[in-house]
Chains A and B, each alone.
Chain A
Amino acid sequence: MPYPVEQNEKFTAYAHPERLVSTEWLAAAIEAGALDGGRLVVVESDEDVLLYETGHIPGAVKVDWHTELNDEVTRDFVEGDAFAALAAAKGISRDSTVVIYGDKSNWWAAYALWVFTLFGHEDVRLLDGGRDKWIAEGRALTTETAAPAPGTYPVVERNDAPVRAFKDDVLAHFGKPLIDVRSPEEYTGQRTHMPAYPEEGAMRGGHIPTAASIPWARAAAGDGTYRNRGELEALYLGEAGLKEGDDVVAYCRIGERSSHTWFALKYLLGFDTVRNYDGSWTEWGNAVRVPIVKGAERGTVPAAR
């Protein structure tokens, strides 16, 4: 049975308020014993593989995006059996309410949430503001690694189509809106990786033709929480020019920053069809016979070949 949904003014304005919880709400839920019996499971997912070990929300389990959600051989996400084993080991059952949080305004948390969505996990939510807000508010932390009782998780086949776009899907998507969430320097092609991040080895710099540039962090306020509905509408409906009912694809460099934007479009603004192109620039920038646009202009739909 899902855990009750949080009600507050900010969340109520969103299309799917049940997808977010606040730090106050989570602290109160933990206090009330929600973690007992696995009805509510708190998951930390960070960029830094050791950050959880330095201190985390009491009772939270860790999911490492790189080593636990990816299959290094197929260059894909894990399959249903591995996901079921992972979830069960973390104390997650199919009907558990899962609250995910992490560092860097929830980049990796949003990415993990998106992967849970590929497996159709029904009730998975983000902690608004993530790890940094929890710590900034002086809330409880522990270095004790959680050892939950195993959950019961069925083997569910991953269903990519509703929320995941592949390169061919993007090629077929031309004419419909694309959002590029990378930095302006990556968008124009001045650089192929984030400032202060390692070179990822993309052959070309630029963006997918017609993509609007809305860097992911613009959806976040200073404290790492999502901006309110009005602000998000100004950004995506106003600046990016999305219209109600649009079919949208978001991308970045490897799909993690665009998960943050995917979440905002899908659950906060309520676009039904939003897909994250996780191959992103790492794939597109290197792909043979795939067009790009350099510079600040969005560019036009490439002629079919």
Chain B
Amino acid sequence: MLGVMNTPALPAALAEIVDDFQALTEPERLQLLLEFSRELPDLPDRLKDHPELMEQVVECQTPLFLTIEKEPADGAAPDSVHLFFKAPPEAPTTRGFAGVLREGLDGLSAREILAVPDDMPDLLGLTRAITPLRMRGMTAMLGRIKRKVAAAAPRQS
């Protein structure tokens, strides 16, 4: 339960990922990030053919594009946000960050995503191994996701 106490404000899936990273040694964390990069799903066809629907995260060192889609609340079920990323295979670090955010945030409500602390990437314990410069890309990714979610949904959904 220690990990949960460390990360009280995170949604469950994201908190679990953070705990996984924190439980590992530094080299193992890099391996885990590599696994996330491999698991990042391809874009659905409707986005593959429409790059103009994606926004580039210029703060990343390699080309990374992202977009969100929001499903409205349905009866008792709250609204949910889906995340889509595109990053080339020769950019595994960037892809890994995208994979963490997708697995940790996809399907959550706009309110839950907006509540994620902006410095959440620092919790992964990668700053030394990845370097602050490379970490900045992930923080920027999260920032852009939150900005897009905020623009797509009124805060009280």
Contacts and interface: CB of A to CB of B under 8 A. Distances in A.
A66 interface: yes
Given A67-B131, A198-B61, 12 more contacts: A48-B90, A49-B30, A49-B129, A49-B134, A50-B33, A50-B96, A51-B90, A53-B34, A66-B131, A67-B128, A196-B60, A198-B133
A47 B61 contact: yes
Interface residues of A, number: 14
Contacts of A196: 56, 58, 60-61, 63
Interface string B89-122: 1111110100000000000000000000000000
Interface string A47-68: 1111101100000000000110
7 contacts: A48-B90, A50-B34, A51-B93, A53-B92, A66-B134, A196-B60, A198-B137
B134 A197 contact: no
A46 B134 CA distance: 13
A305 B132 CA distance: 37
A36 B30 CA distance: 28
A199 B61 CA distance: 11
Contacts of A198: 58-61, 133, 136-137, 140
Interface residues of B, number: 28
A50 B93 CA distance: 6
B129 A51 contact: no
Main secondary structure of the interface of A (DSSP, over half): loop
B92 A50 contact: yes
Interface of B: 30-31, 33-34, 37, 56, 58-63, 89-94, 96, 128-131, 133-134, 136-137, 140
Nearest to B62: A48
Given A47-B61, A49-B93, A54 B129 contact: no
A4 B87 CA distance: 40
A198 B140 CA distance: 10
Q: Which 8 A-B pairs have the closest CB atoms?
A: A50-B92, A66-B131, A198-B59, A50-B93, A48-B93, A198-B136, A54-B92, A53-B34
Contacts of A49: 30, 93, 129-131, 134
A103 B90 contact: yes
Contacts of B61: 47-48, 196-198
